[in-house]
Structure 1
């Protein structure tokens, strides 16, 4: 029986004195013995947290009790172990780094694409007047993506604005954007509208919610997630593997971070190459004196922090 949960969420809502909020929120999360990663900015919250079911329920209730965040949509996964080993809550300029910080141009609270629930999205993806746009980075869509999706050659979401001209040929189409949990689409769809795209949609709740409510149909491969699971299965209808080993080209669903911390590249890598290269993406990285021990997972953390199971009565 799984006794832990992992919560993925975001909320665009103005936070006064967001830096102090981040400090106080970290203390609150630690009081629940949660682990995870939360970004706080003036524009809102973006987080993934993990802990016991009781702690996660308490956290969700706390967030929704705050009027600023009452509409927060939590994506909930039952897991057999916490998905992080430490709790981080940091103040940053944006809750997803895009470089689009001018609220007069991009403000998800004022204008975004039309939100499609997973079942609505599913019904539209095969239409001839529709283009499916993946707004995630290379390493994410290399691991998994929707069938026939348009993908962009970007290393980080902040490069998305540079691709608007490449996308101009789709202005006469219905553009359906998607990402992992929905947060990138809020700004991506708003930017498309700003640049004259008239019929823009976004998958509400992202790939994760689509997997739960539409059984992930026609999502090919796995979905990259930003915790120690690295990748999760989405498709329960017609699953497939589309990713290939960065080193040998063999089909593989596995993704790692390079064991060389000065590289830390996200790559898909088969077990044979992982063992041969000790979890590194290249031979040169194997000689780095700071190379981390490879345990077969390809996920690395700095400090361990135990998450306690709920206390039981005697």
Structure 2
């Protein structure tokens, strides 16, 4: 039996006094010696937690005992090391940042794409009248994605609504959406339906569940995850590495964060370039005075930064690293 487990889950279910719930839930998680990151919003929960198997079981039992979250589905990974260092549970406006906060416009509890179990998704994905749509960000699908999937040039899921107009050519086809665990598809598929796409589906449980129940067939590369592991293996049937080193072009599945905390960009980089550039995406970042020490992993404990790279456009970022 593995020493630890990591749980990935979400649940769209209204929470009254969500800010107080977040505080209380943090204390509960700490009482179980769990580490992880949970987002609490008025619309529900989105979390990844890690701990001893008995602590994880106690946590799942407690969540399922609450009528609001009884339908929550947990994706469970056995891990040798904890997937986080600390426990965070924070209140935010949405459990996944989409900019679609008005339940009168988008409400995953009322309308979403048809949920496809992994085996059904696998059977449908290669049909001629099907389009497989990846609703994740660039850094996620750059390291792994389904074969023949349509990807969007977005830095954050909140840009997805602006990209829907680029999908007009697919309105007469079946749209199969997918993401890491399913949470983004709940809103993405609902928005597609609202915008006139009639035949919309979503991969229930996302890439992670697909890997566990369908062997990950035809998912090329690795799946990006939001914890210390950075990426995980999915495909045990016909695996293939599709990502390349940003700096030299060599095939590699290793994804890191730039050692310059002002940049902190997610990108793929081979070990050779990693050591040569000291864990940075460029020579400019390598000489930045706040550069963090590179240990070969490219993962860093999050600390407050003066600049949030998610709020900087690619254009501004390129200008930043030149200065």
1:99 aligns with 2:99: yes
Q: Quick one: distance in 2 between partners of 1:260 and 1:87?
A: 24
Q: Quick one: distance in 1 between partners of 2:167 and 2:105?
A: 19
Structure with larger RCO (C-alpha < 8 A, sep 6+) = 1
Partner of 2:113: 113
Partner of 2:145: 145
Q: Quick one: distance in 2 between partners of 1:218 and 1:144?
A: 10
Partner of 1:69: 69
Partner of 1:15: 15
* Unaligned 5+ runs, structure 2: 304-323
Residue 286 of structure 1, CA deviation: 0.8
SS in 1 for 2:252: coil
Q: Quick one: distance in 1 between partners of 2:234 and 2:194?
A: 32
Partner of 2:318: none
Q: Quick one: distance in 1 between partners of 2:126 and 2:302?
A: 44
Partner of 2:284: 284
Alpha-carbon distance change, 16 to 298 in structure 1, aligned in 2, over 3 angstroms: same
SS in 2 for 1:216: coil
Residue 292 of structure 1, CA deviation: 0.8
Alpha-carbon distance change, 33 to 147 in structure 1, aligned in 2, over 3 angstroms: same
Matches within 5 A, 1:1-314: 1-302=1-302
Equivalent pairs counted in the alignment come to: 303
Tell me the TM-score normalised to structure 1 length. Answer: 0.96
> CA RMSD of the aligned region, Å?
0.7
Q: Quick one: distance in 1 between partners of 2:8 and 2:101?
A: 23
Residue 302 of structure 1, CA deviation: 4.7
Q: Quick one: distance in 1 between partners of 2:175 and 2:147?
A: 15
Q: Quick one: distance in 2 between partners of 1:24 and 1:87?
A: 13
Residue 290 of structure 1, CA deviation: 1.3
* Unaligned 5+ runs, structure 1: 304-314
